[in-house]
A and B are shown apart, each in its own frame.
Chain A
Amino acid sequence: MALLTVRDLSVEIGGVRVLDGISFELAAGEVLGLVGESGSGKSLTALALSRLLPPGATSTGEVRLEDRDLGTLSERELCGVRGRGIGMVFQEPATALNPLLRIGAQVAETVRAHRRVSRRDALLAAAGALARVGLDPGSIPGERFPHELSGGQRQRVALALATVLAPRVLIADEPTTALDVATQAQILALLKTLAATEGMAILLISHDLAVVGQFADRLAILNGGRIVETGPTRAVLGAPADGYTRRLKRDFGLGGVTLAPGPGAPRPLLLAQDLVREYPGARTGLLGRRLPKRAIDGVSLTLAEGERVGLVGESGSGKSTLVRLLLALDAPSAGSLELDGRRFAARGAAPARSQRRLVQAVFQDPFGSLNPRFTVRRIIAEPLGLLEAPLAPAEQARRVGRALADVGLGADALARYPHEFSGGERQRIALARALVIEPKLLILDEAVSGLDASLRSQILELLAGLNASRGLGYLIVSHDLGVVRATTERLLVMHAGRIVEAGPTAEVLGAPRHPYTQALIAATPDLGRIAGVSPTGA
């Protein structure tokens, strides 16, 4: 019998129907994956289930936990249901915890809110819950404060909070999106174990088809507030019946990206030799010397004209520092950089405009990379200052217009300001700014990480197209192996400030030699490894 039954759940906010007739069932021990893009109504579904909707939202339909209709309960009774009946975990572990409470006391507080037990018994129950989520009391005692834990450990505490009362249903809303790949794998495995051993029913909400595909027993695909397809994971991913699911799968696997054959006899464009970047580290003692900390420790690489290269590595591996060096935003402590046969980014010397023209960049944060006080026209025109002579206004307008058209935005965007655009549109404006000067190399620093699958796919298809038509080379820095697999021919793996592995992308991903690369690949959820599913085929 189903633990949680949702029938015809609809939510309206300000007269707009944002959830439209959602129905599903969740059985004990089952993991149901709810997948959708931004704005599809995923999080709203989670909130509607436990009746935590924002003010101004009204819901209709039936939500049944075992034999109780949650719609008929009073707020007081609902408080009992939340926590004991339904537990919830959210995306950002840092904000889910009270920074002033020790983690053990924090979990115990939840116990005492629901059960009349002594402080001692509550702390005991808390210790048990923390141990169950893998926080061993020997190494991570309950006396720790949240800030003393890593992001993954904090998410475990949030999970302990949600599960300490042994709820029958656990709702996990993007529980691993803020975590790195290795931690993500551990948390997902933990969820799976909880479902199996405690008989908990889990609703796993995510935008990441691979994460959900690997861990959910059944899938429900959400689009525009409706469930467009539901069924066993393999069936849904193996042979999607709905058009939207097919497109989502194709976009997610980047099936639309086709790489043109590489350049025949590539001419080296950017040459880095033995780059070192040191930062002053902590003092060894009161009067001790500052030991320099090496963020980049002897990196050499060559990027050829028109070449498509990927750079992967965990956070803190030195990827971003390397990108800053390659863009001459920072000068190396030692080593040399050559661009187009001439030295580049030497200490104390500004790079020549003729060199700057060759390399442009798109950064990670679409909200921070556009000056909020500039119009889109002015933003895109900015790099045109790199030309030797200023352009005639008509010619400038033509080039700005073409760059905007290249990224698929209309000319009506020109007079508007960044805040009027969505994250994906902003990232396209940033891309137009990088393209307007027609560089030979484009560096994308995690530039597609935060985007929905469909947008990511569009931007990467556009890049592959520019590579084929204009010979634009690119360096994609990403933690997403799916992205580099689809868009690059050569792959560099960075770990602790060094490039530990380099080679053709297919070879590195197919037969990784360095232990770090092996661990990275093992931890990454991958559509291709879900049995019976071909990663790109529609």
Chain B
Amino acid sequence: MSAARVTKATPPRDGAFIAGASIAALLLLAVAANMLGAFDPGLALNVDARFLAPGARHFLGTDALGRDVAAMIAAGATASLGVALCAVAVGLLGGVPLGLIAAARGGLADEGVARLNDVLFALPPLLLAVLLAATLGPGALTAILALGLFNIPVFARITRASARTLLTRDFVNAARVAGKGPLAIGFQHLLPNLSGLLIAQATIQIALGIAAEAGLSYVGLGAQPPAPSWGRMLHDAQTLTAIAPWLAWFPGIALAGSVLGLSVLGDRLRERLDPRARR
């Protein structure tokens, strides 16, 4: 009935995708190396070697306490990525069930979830983090809770929207005729079909989480010393820009590169995994 379509067999080479994936891999490598203690020598205090400019021995220089900036950045990836990953996990665990319930039940449940989303979207994240820090004390857990809470509506919304279209598909009707209950339909029919979209969105949220974590630790609400973190490195560098400007450059580059790389990766993943976004 339709004219034969000529389709390209190989997808075009995608530089942005490869760059984003490389940055993600580099971040994971840094976290793994840090867990094995690879950066501990560089993190040791050495007042004799403070404020060394980038050079052969410390290729990104040293800070006011003589710590190696390259080692601090690599080790700081742990705090950034750890907080962002946990926050996304909170968002997924909270948001996906809410979105599924809203899509499946409709009516009051749908309305309730929508209002909850609106309330969460309306709250400024930084104020909530300050509030949580006041009650729980500052630290990684505070950052995870504050950021995770704001990931919930993001995942609830995309889950609800996609699940609603999936629920109208006849394979869901067929599953009901085959006697499948709501839980079985949710796990077997909805989640596998949502997974691509969720993975892509999670990647984007990790990028946003890294940026937000840096913001929180910049104001002292994130990871606490001596654990290195990009946000606090920037904070400490602020008063020293005249003496040692590299202290601000390199954490800044690491932060911007990670956020940009992961955002691009998430966008590309969404394009690749979501059939509706495909041309």
Within 8 A of A (CB), among B176-200: 176-181, 188-189, 192-193
Complex Cα–Cα for A327 and B170 (A): 13
Contact partner, B180, options A53, A55, A57, A382, Cβ 8 Å: A382
Contact digits for B1-14, partner A, Cβ 8 Å, 1 yes 0 no: 11111100000000
Contact status A329-B177, CB under 8 Å: yes
CB neighbours of B192 from chain A (8 A): 371, 373
Q: A44 — nearest CB in chain B belongs to which residue?
A: B3
Contact status A369-B169, CB under 8 Å: yes
Contact status B170-A382, CB under 8 Å: no
Within 8 A of B (CB), among A303-338: 327, 329
CB neighbours of B171 from chain A (8 A): 368-371
Contact status A363-B3, CB under 8 Å: no
CB neighbours of A368 from chain B (8 A): 169-171
Q: Is B175 an interface residue (CB 8 A)?
A: yes
Contact status B177-A361, CB under 8 Å: yes
CB neighbours of B123 from chain A (8 A): none
CB neighbours of A356 from chain B (8 A): 177-179
The interface stretch among A35-43, A64-72, A120-128, A134-142 is: A35-43
Q: Is A383 an interface residue (CB 8 A)?
A: yes
B3 to chain A, nearest CB (A): 5
Complex Cα–Cα for A54 and B4 (A): 8
Contact partner, B174, options A57, A361, A372, Cβ 8 Å: A361
Complex Cα–Cα for A14 and B9 (A): 13
CB neighbours of A382 from chain B (8 A): 174-175, 178, 180
Q: Is B239 an interface residue (CB 8 A)?
A: no
Q: A387 — nearest CB in chain B belongs to which residue?
A: B179
Q: Is B241 an interface residue (CB 8 A)?
A: no
CB neighbours of A385 from chain B (8 A): 178-180
Contact digits for A399-412, partner B, Cβ 8 Å, 1 yes 0 no: 00000000000000
Complex Cα–Cα for A433 and B178 (A): 9
B168 to chain A, nearest CB (A): 8
B21 to chain A, nearest CB (A): 24
Q: Is B46 an interface residue (CB 8 A)?
A: no
CB neighbours of B224 from chain A (8 A): none
CB neighbours of B4 from chain A (8 A): 13, 18, 44, 54, 57
Q: Is A56 an interface residue (CB 8 A)?
A: yes
Q: Is A364 an interface residue (CB 8 A)?
A: yes
Contact partner, B170, options A13, A55, A365, Cβ 8 Å: A365
Given the known interface contacts A54-B6, A365-B170, the answer about A372 and B193 at a Cβ–Cβ threshold of 8 Å is yes
A477 to chain B, nearest CB (A): 13
CB neighbours of A42 from chain B (8 A): 1
Q: Is A10 an interface residue (CB 8 A)?
A: no
A355 to chain B, nearest CB (A): 10
Q: B193 — nearest CB in chain A belongs to which residue?
A: A373
Complex Cα–Cα for A280 and B146 (A): 40
Contact partner, B6, options A14, A329, A353, A386, Cβ 8 Å: A14
B83 to chain A, nearest CB (A): 32
Give how many A residues have a beta carbon under 8 Å from the other chain's beta carbons.
Answer: 40
Within 8 A of A (CB), among B136-159: none
Q: Is A251 an interface residue (CB 8 A)?
A: no
A512 to chain B, nearest CB (A): 31
Contact status B177-A383, CB under 8 Å: yes
Contact status A433-B1, CB under 8 Å: no
Q: Is A521 an interface residue (CB 8 A)?
A: no
Complex Cα–Cα for A257 and B120 (A): 61
Contact status B193-A47, CB under 8 Å: no
Complex Cα–Cα for A361 and B174 (A): 7
Q: Is B238 an interface residue (CB 8 A)?
A: no
Q: A351 — nearest CB in chain B belongs to which residue?
A: B179
Q: A174, A365, A373, A437: which has the most chain B beta carbons within 10 Å?
A: A373
CB neighbours of A371 from chain B (8 A): 171, 175, 188-189, 192-193
Q: Is B22 an interface residue (CB 8 A)?
A: no
Q: B275 — nearest CB in chain A belongs to which residue?
A: A372
Q: A353 — nearest CB in chain B belongs to which residue?
A: B179
Q: Is A430 an interface residue (CB 8 A)?
A: yes
Q: Is A360 an interface residue (CB 8 A)?
A: yes
A449 to chain B, nearest CB (A): 13
Complex Cα–Cα for A382 and B2 (A): 33
Complex Cα–Cα for A38 and B193 (A): 29
Complex Cα–Cα for A356 and B175 (A): 11
CB neighbours of B189 from chain A (8 A): 371
A426 to chain B, nearest CB (A): 11
Contact partner, B177, options A13, A57, A350, A360, Cβ 8 Å: A360
A378 to chain B, nearest CB (A): 9
Complex Cα–Cα for A326 and B175 (A): 15
Contact status B1-A39, CB under 8 Å: yes
CB neighbours of B177 from chain A (8 A): 327, 329, 356, 359-361, 383
Contact status A363-B5, CB under 8 Å: no
Contact status B174-A430, CB under 8 Å: yes
Contact partner, B179, options A13, A54, A370, A383, Cβ 8 Å: A383
CB neighbours of B169 from chain A (8 A): 368-369
Within 8 A of B (CB), among A355-401: 356, 359-361, 363-365, 368-373, 382-383, 385-386
B165 to chain A, nearest CB (A): 10
Q: Is A226 an interface residue (CB 8 A)?
A: no
Contact status B178-A386, CB under 8 Å: yes
CB neighbours of A174 from chain B (8 A): 1
Q: Is A207 an interface residue (CB 8 A)?
A: yes
Complex Cα–Cα for A372 and B175 (A): 13
CB neighbours of B1 from chain A (8 A): 38-39, 42-43, 174, 207
Complex Cα–Cα for A350 and B176 (A): 10
Given the known interface contacts A43-B1, A174-B1, A385-B180, the answer about A369 and B174 at a Cβ–Cβ threshold of 8 Å is yes
A299 to chain B, nearest CB (A): 20
Q: A352 — nearest CB in chain B belongs to which residue?
A: B179
Complex Cα–Cα for A327 and B178 (A): 10
Complex Cα–Cα for A439 and B171 (A): 18
Q: B168 — nearest CB in chain A belongs to which residue?
A: A368
Within 8 A of A (CB), among B188-216: 188-189, 192-193
User: 16 interchain pairs (CB within 8 A)?
Assistant: A43-B3, A54-B4, A54-B6, A56-B6, A329-B173, A356-B177, A356-B178, A361-B174, A363-B170, A363-B173, A369-B170, A371-B188, A371-B189, A382-B175, A385-B179, A430-B174
Given contacts A43-B3, A386-B179, 13 further A-B contacts (CB under 8 A): A14-B6, A38-B1, A42-B1, A43-B1, A43-B2, A327-B176, A327-B177, A329-B177, A359-B177, A361-B177, A365-B170, A368-B171, A372-B193
What residues of chain B have their CB less than 8 Å away from a CB belonging to chain A? 1-6, 169-171, 173-181, 188-189, 192-193
Identify the 9 closest CB pairs spanning chains A and B, nearest first.
Answer: A369-B170, A363-B170, A383-B178, A373-B192, A368-B169, A386-B179, A56-B6, A371-B171, A382-B178
